[in-house]
Structure 1
Amino acid sequence: MASSFHWSRYLLILGMSGSLLGCIMDSRQSEVSAWMAREKSQAVPNIQPLREPLVFQPVAYDRGSAEDPFAFEKLARVFQSGQVRGDTRLIDQHRNRRKEPLEAYPLDAIKMVGFMQKAGKPTALVLVENHLYQVVAGNYIGQNYGLIRNISETQMKLQEVVQDATGEWIEQSTVLELQE
């Protein structure tokens, strides 16, 4: 009997504490709700009006008497003549020199991943098939005879020799950006 009286006293104290705690929490909740309502009523939105959209004026393309660069007839004339126009010296100088290892890879397989100064010369770090190479201006990379002209912290500038649609060998500038 004494133990049941003992437990009932604990339950009574626990019940009273819970009720008192509920009253305290309820008053705190109402204070927070009142503060939120007051702040919400005082808040002023700061929305900037949108600018009017720019007016787009389409312009008609008139090529006049210019020849269509994609005309089949233009390409057919070149191929039927059987001659390759243009300066073959561009390609001849590359065919007669010893190839460098990075010329075996297409340019899109080569990634510039770093930059450093080595003996005062800007040096790029390039990654090809999980191998890291150091290149400087004057090296060749890529399958289009890409001569490295300039190296900066963010890019490499190349001069490639490619064949255009008519079979002419032309020089083309290419940039290889730093990949992070």
Structure 2
Amino acid sequence: MKKIALTVLITVALTGCNDDTAEQQEFIDQVKASTTPKVEEIPKLTQFEHFDYSAGQLRSPFVAPQPEIIQSNLVQIKNCLHPDPDRTREPLEKYPLDNLAMKGTLGSQGDMWALIKAADETLHRVTVGYHLGLYHGEVKDVQNDYIELLELIPDGSGCWKERLTKLEMLEATTDDAS
């Protein structure tokens, strides 16, 4: 009895799994025949009006001006402290002081040179009289662990004020040691 019931069950199950898809194919063919494909017309392009940009020679509002441009636009008042506008700028004057790092010193106490690493990973050698930083910082003293700079800071009224600043050598990190 169990064998007969099992045989009937398997037979019923297998009849549902036939490969006859003729009915489905007939439905697909009927749908395809009753629908017509519609292609939409390509939209017409609108003519654009040419605009001639005439402010190309002006400063871009999206780019920060260089410090030397700002400083050249400041009014110079006579009988007032100000930097020498004719002095040639040195390579390290294009970096803010926080983008410069003192990495070491060379020489003896009478003739000391400092090694300065710039933001672009270049190494520069400076001594007394060299300039660095955005504010005309002149190196006044080089010690084993710091450089002393005399910077000229604009006061907003056309004059400049002197400010002493130190660029100190930082402790070596794991990146510096490798």
Higher helix proportion (structure 1 or 2): 1
Task: State which structure, 1 or 2, has the greater radius of gyration over its C-alpha atoms.
Answer: 2
